[in-house]
Amino acid sequence: MELKPETISLLVADTQTMAMLFDLDPRRIQQLAKEGTMVKNSAGKFKVFDSMVKYLDWMRRSPKNRKEIDLNEPDDGEKISLEKEQALLARSKRIAQERINEKMRGNLVDIEEVREFNNSIALLFIQALDAFEARIAPEIATVTQSDPSLIRPIIRHEVRIARQETADKLLTFNQN
């Protein structure tokens, strides 16, 4: 039997046949009919061609069936499509929220907090170095049988080198 355009639009099928044609559950056919995607002809019967056209249109418009947008693809100076712009905005909002969540979990800290912490550690280190000179010079003097006043300038010089290197490292970190 040859199907002509005018004959195709007259094809009618019941719920079970429609389910088989569309590879769907009969209950899903009923749901689609309530949504207006399947075109009813009479009680329990559907217009096959009209339903197929509406179903394909529904599939095309459904967000989960749309083509994935490559957000990393360069736009070569062309206007960004509304879909891509919305996707970029959604991604940036998601990233911002992920950062907030990570910070709340304690996995991220503010750079200012890190700088303050590093500065406080450096201050403690510098204070320890300053005290080091006074503590160690007498001990070295007794071991070497020398005058502590001769040893202190040598230790002071080494401590200043360590302090300067620490200050340089902190300065470099705080500038970034």
Q: Provide the pLDDT for residue 119.
A: 82
Q: Provide the pLDDT for residue 74.
A: 56
Render each residue's pLDDT in the chain as its tens digit; 176 residues: 565 666 666 778 898 888 888 888 889 889 888 988 888 888 778 888 888 888 888 887 776 655 555 656 655 555 667 777 888 888 888 888 888 888 888 787 778 888 888 888 888 887 887 787 777 877 787 778 888 787 778 888 888 888 888 878 777 777 76
Beta-carbon count within 10 A of 138 CB: 12
Q: Please give, one letter per residue, the 3-state secondary structure of the chain.
A: CCCCHHHHCCCEEEHHHHHHHHCCCHHHHHHHHHHCCCCEEECCEEEHHHHHHHHHHHHHHCHHHCCCCCCCCCCCCCCCCHHHHHHHHHHHHHHHHHHHHHHHHCCCCCHHHHHHHHHHHHHHHHHHHHHHHHHHHHHHHHHHCCCHHHHHHHHHHHHHHHHHHHHHHHHHHHHC
Q: Provide the pLDDT for residue 95.
A: 85
Q: Where are the domains of the chain?
A: 8-65, 67-108, 111-175
